[in-house]
């Protein structure tokens, strides 16, 4: 959870400062990692 929170928060901060439209892709190699990132992202904000 901690890693996902840091990655999502850092990416969000960077994108807020960008003036271009950018696409971000997180490569997650397991279903467990995906589930963690999805849960963190669903609760983000």
Q: Is the pLDDT of residue 19 over 90?
A: no
Q: What does the pLDDT read at residue 45? A: 73
Q: CB neighbours of 19 closer than 8 A, spacing ≥ 6?
A: none
Of the CA atoms within 13 Å of residue 13, those in its CB half-sphere come to 6
- Average of per-residue pLDDT across 21-31: 93
Q: Does the global pTM surpass 0.75?
A: yes
Please, which pLDDT band fits residue 21 given cuts at 50, 70 and 90? confident
């Amino acid at each position: 959870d901690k890693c996902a929170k840091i990655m999502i928060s850092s990416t969000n901060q960077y994108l807020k400062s960008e003036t271009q439209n950018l696409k971000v892709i997180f490569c997650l190699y397991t279903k467990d990692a995906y589930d963690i990132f999805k849960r963190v992202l669903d609760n983000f904000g």
